[in-house]
Amino acid sequence: MNSHSDDSGDDDDETTSPADKSELHNTIRSLSLKLGDLSTCNDLIAKHGAALQRSLNELDGLRIPYESSEKLKAVNERATLFRITSNAMINACRDFLELAETHSRKWQRALQYEQEQRVHLEETIEQLAKQHNSLERAFRSAPGRAANPTKSFSEGDLLTPKGEDSEEDEDTEYFDAMEDSTSFITVITEAKEDRKAEGGTTGPVDWTSSDNVLDGASLVPKDPPKVKRRVRIPDKPNYSLNLWSIMKNCIGRELSKIPMPVNFNEPLSMLQRLTEDLEYHHLLDKAVHCTSSVEQMCLVAAFSVSSYSTTVHRIAKPFNPMLGETFELDRLEDMGLRSLCEQVSHHPPSAAHYVFSKNGWSLWQEITISSKFRGKYLSIMPLGAIHLEFQDSGNHYVWRKSTSTVHNIIVGKLWIDQTGDIEIVNHKTKDRCQLKFLPYSYFSKEVARKVTGVVSDGQGKAHYVLSGSWDEQMECAKIVQSSPSSPSLDGKQKTVYQTLPAKLLWKKYPLPENAENMYYFSELALTLNEHEEGVAPTDSRLRPDQRLMEKGNWDEANTEKQRLEEKQRMSRRRRLEACSRGCGAEDAEKEADVYIPLWFEKRLDPLTGETACMYKGGYWEAKEKQDWHMCPNIF
């Protein structure tokens, strides 16, 4: 039981099944048989005890010396006491069994009642869900509520920059998005002649030749890979496990500190999930050729949104990397880039990432994952800044990720949503892009998973309106004119942006065939854990529990996962013992948690004012020489 106590949760709340009742009856039957054995022993003790006393009485009647008579009397008294004690023991056992039988009936009735109540609750929740669905359909089809398909405007949303943790306090609750939360309206201008007749336009009145770089930005054909890579992995086994039985004891706790069986994982590590953000790297390759910084910002914004497109079906958690674990993606030939991740902290889990592209850009980040289970939903908050720099122009973009939320932890089908605001800043030109991820609402007439945004220059003038959804596509529309709208009944005023017809920036690649049985992995994700020669011995591809899970051997993977976690705990204890020799207990505790990364080093970021891990070099040189002597043995 101790080996599974962390992962399996408590079983006290499980519904009593017929098997449980049968086991209870078998236990009572076994106790009854044992009582019968005790009764038989009692009869034998009484029989032989009586014979012993008769023999002692006969001896007492014989003429024997006084001293022997006293000894016989003492033996007789002890035999009598033994008989009385054995009778008392048998009676106590009988009373115990009767009490157990009486209370077992009460327990069975109580358990039966709890079972009926739980079944009734599940039926009630199911009925409420059906009624909710009916109300939603009725609301959408009600007269005066249907969206007018001929209406030539769409609405965007106000973006209020917030701190990383501002909307993730302990008491945060998610509510349906309000219909009046929009703050700007987009009006599409169709014909040049109409715009000329209106007059009063400010700024360009049509897409210019410099905007052609945005044409088909997402439609870049994928060249056939020069290296043949796998296109499938073994199908996911159909193992059932009650999520609530484990998560109910985790409310309010940091998820990374809770041991989980691999049943809730996907066979990729967090380092590989970070690397997966590069799937639409061609958007940045395209952005290199932009002559306008605000136009380049549109592509950078589309790239930042595209990183969420793979999460819509990916409700399983990636493996928490071991301290010192690395992952490389050496794709200079087909993707034109090299990527390296290293796990630089275990509690809190933090990963450093550096990407170099031969097409003229580099990206780096240190992401710390903060996750809390709040009973009804699970919040995943990536903390840390993402940096993107284009070598030729010197444009340096910085942004932070939004919050991911997994819903229906207790009942219903799990689904994931992205919420919050993202502000992308070009620190060279001071251009800004304000993106807003709208939370899903049952009653909203907007499309699900909607993202809206505005791109402004350093003077605050809006140039582009962005719209789309984080799981499908993003578009941009060039702003021709902006003006305030008439105040609404509550006195609020919106900005009206008159725009040209939108251009497609990014569109999600279709998932591979049979993806639903392969953890909904994209084409890139299917190749991330493929075995490669020459990688560092700390590479995620070499992690044994993850490899076993990918092959479908989940029981062996769980055993191996426990071994790796215990090995990591032993390493920490050794560091703690080494630190405690030279300093106090409190200082030793802090020192033991400090890990010196192998390929990254802490530096002060002059743009954000934060200390972050940045690539210090040496990895690709070590790979070329196949000199990995400095790597720790973590697997």
Q: What percent of the chain has pLDDT over 70?
A: 74
pLDDT at residue 508 is higher than 60: yes
Can you give the residue ranges of every domain in the chain?
A: 239-508+518-624
Decide if 347 contacts 366 (C-beta within 8 A): no
Name which residue leads in pLDDT, 10 or 237: 237
Q: Do the Cβ atoms of 601 and 614 come closer than 8 Å?
A: yes
Among 191-195, 216-220, 468-472, 492-496, the range scoring the smallest mean pLDDT is: 191-195
- Pair 472, 162: CB distance under 8 Å: no
pLDDT of amino acid 241: 58
Residue 470 Cα distances to 44, 190, 306, 405, angstroms:
82, 26, 6, 14
Band of the pLDDT at 172, cuts 50, 70, 90?
A: very low
Per-residue pLDDT at 601: 94
In the predicted model, what is the mean pLDDT of the chain? 79
Q: What is the distance between the alpha carbons of residues 75 and 56, in angstroms, rounded to a whole number? A: 8
Whole-number Cα distances in Å, 610 to 344, 368, 384, 482: 16, 13, 9, 37
* 475 has a pLDDT exceeding 50: yes
Confidence of residue 219 (pLDDT cuts 50, 70, 90): low
HSE-CB at 32 with a 13 A cutoff on CA atoms is 8
Tell me which residue of 402, 462, 406 sits closest to 432, measured CA to CA: 462
- Residue 7 has a pLDDT of 39
Q: The pTM is what?
A: 0.69
Residue 633, SS3 per DSSP: coil
- Rounded Cα distance between 211 and 504, Å, is 12
Q: Read off the pLDDT of each residue in 401-429 and give the average, rounded to a whole number.
A: 88
Query: 592: Cβ–Cβ under 8 A, 6 or more apart, which residues?
Result: 572, 575, 576, 579
What would the pLDDT profile of 311-332 be if each residue is shown by its tens digit?
888 988 899 999 999 999 999 9
Thinking of the domain 239-508+518-624, which architecture would CATH place it in?
Beta Barrel (2.40)
Per-residue pLDDT at 470: 94
Q: Is the model more confident about 601 or about 114?
A: 601
Instruction: Return d(Cα 544, Cα 284) in angstroms, integer.
Output: 35
Query: Cα 392 vs. chain centroid, distance in angstroms?
Result: 37
Q: Tell me the C-alpha to C-alpha distance, in Å, between residue 633 and each of 536, 539, 596.
A: 11, 11, 15
Per-residue pLDDT at 181 exceeds 70 = no
pLDDT at 232: 93
How confident is the model over 259-269, as a mean pLDDT? 85
Using 50, 70 and 90 to split pLDDT, how confident is the model at 578? confident
pLDDT at 216: 55
Among 275-279, 387-391, 587-591, 631-635, the least confident range: 587-591
Please tell me whether the peptide bond between 348 and the residue prior to it is cis, using omega within 30 degrees of 0: yes
CA distance 72 to 53: 10
Q: What does the pLDDT read at residue 73?
A: 76
